Structure 1
Amino acid sequence: MMRFDPFREIEELSQRMDRALGGTQSARLSPPVDVHEDETGLELTLDLPGVQPDAIQIEAENNTLTVQAERKYARTEGRTAHRVERAYGTLARTFSVPAKYDLTKVEADFDHGTLTIRVPRSEAAQKRAISVRTGGQATPNRTVDAGQSDQNSQ
């Protein structure tokens, strides 16, 4: 005996309408992403299963990184789809990237449906040792984050 689900028929009808009207191709989806940061920069990892590498576009402009990909639904003449649950259409994510990262040096790798994007820190934001002189004498180097003030130096 099957359990009655009043929403099942509505869901199936919605899926049939999407397929009949081409709705599965016009959907705009947001793929899951992990964002990590370390001293070298940002690493963004997106899941894009079933996407071909040539269907991926990455654009960087004005502190914004945009990833867009197309996952197409293959319709076959004479074949009836009884259930279509996987996501098809345009997959897109946009990220605001702080100025301390260099969008001119973005690198991307695509392997087994996983897109990994690396955005390095800009050279101006890299840590570096700075000698502080007092009374004409150089003191030992201290590492200071560029763009951040040091409360102890006052």
Structure 2
Amino acid sequence: MMRFDPFREIEELTQRMDRAFGGAVNGQAARLAPPIDVHEDEQGLELALDLPGVRPEDIQIEAENNTLSVQAQRKYNRTEGRTAHRVERAYGTFARTFSVPSKYDLSKVEADFDHGTLTLKVPRSEAAQKRTVQVRTSTGGQLSVPKTVDAEQAQGQQTQAQQA
């Protein structure tokens, strides 16, 4: 009679699920999608990916044709003479690909890696920057500086015009 080992049962179930749903098969690493936060402000996009246990030198970032790709790898270190009863942390290749609108400049992407979090900053392109356009008037062929009118002053002028 064989003794019941719940850890063995869980490991066998995990291996069967991996084979059925495209996980690690025949020693090949599984491709995992790390969680991400995406924020946008006036300066551009900020993407933050969780890559715990990944070394900075094991991260590849590619930006091309409005596509930003991040790939990283975390290897599982097997030690001789040691039995793993439970392995729940994700190992293998982490990969995410993002379509980035053309209003962002992928040639100026900045990447920072701190405590397992990869932060990518994608600035807006020069053409997509918000601009203030001044309206000028022409007086006798010469352009004058736009006039700024105080709101209270303008209201007083309207009241005087209505009384007249």
**TM-score range normalised by the length of the shorter chain:** 0.7 to 0.9
CA contact (8 A) 1:72 1:88 kept: yes
Aligned to 1:118: 121
Within 5 Å, give how 1:1-154 maps onto structure 2: 9=9, 11-15=10-14, 21-22=26-27, 26-133=29-136, 139=146
Aligned to 1:146: none
Query: How many angstroms apart in 1 are the aligned matches of 2:97 and 2:12?
Result: 32
Q: Any stretches of 5+ residues in structure 1 without a counterpart? A: 1-5, 142-154
Q: TM-score, normalised by structure 2?
A: 0.72
Query: How many angstroms apart in 2 are the aligned matches of 1:100 and 1:68?
Result: 24
Q: Any stretches of 5+ residues in structure 2 without a counterpart? A: 1-5, 19-23, 149-164
CA contact (8 A) 1:132 1:140 kept: no
Over the residues paired in the alignment, what is the CA RMSD in angstroms?
A: 2.6
Query: How many angstroms apart in 2 are the aligned matches of 1:115 and 1:140?
Result: 48
Larger Rg: 2
Number of aligned pairs? 132
**Cα gap change, 1:20 to 1:59, in 2 (>3 Å):** closer
| Aligned residue identity for 1:64 | T
Query: How many angstroms apart in 1 are the aligned matches of 2:25 and 2:69?
Result: 31
**TM-superposed deviation, 1:108:** 0.3
**TM-superposed deviation, 1:12:** 2.1
CA contact (8 A) 1:131 1:140 kept: no
Aligned to 1:150: none
Q: TM-score, normalised by structure 1?
A: 0.76
Structure with a larger share of its residues in strand: 1
CA contact (8 A) 1:15 1:84 kept: no
Query: How many angstroms apart in 2 are the aligned matches of 1:132 and 1:98?
Result: 30
**TM-superposed deviation, 1:77:** 1.1
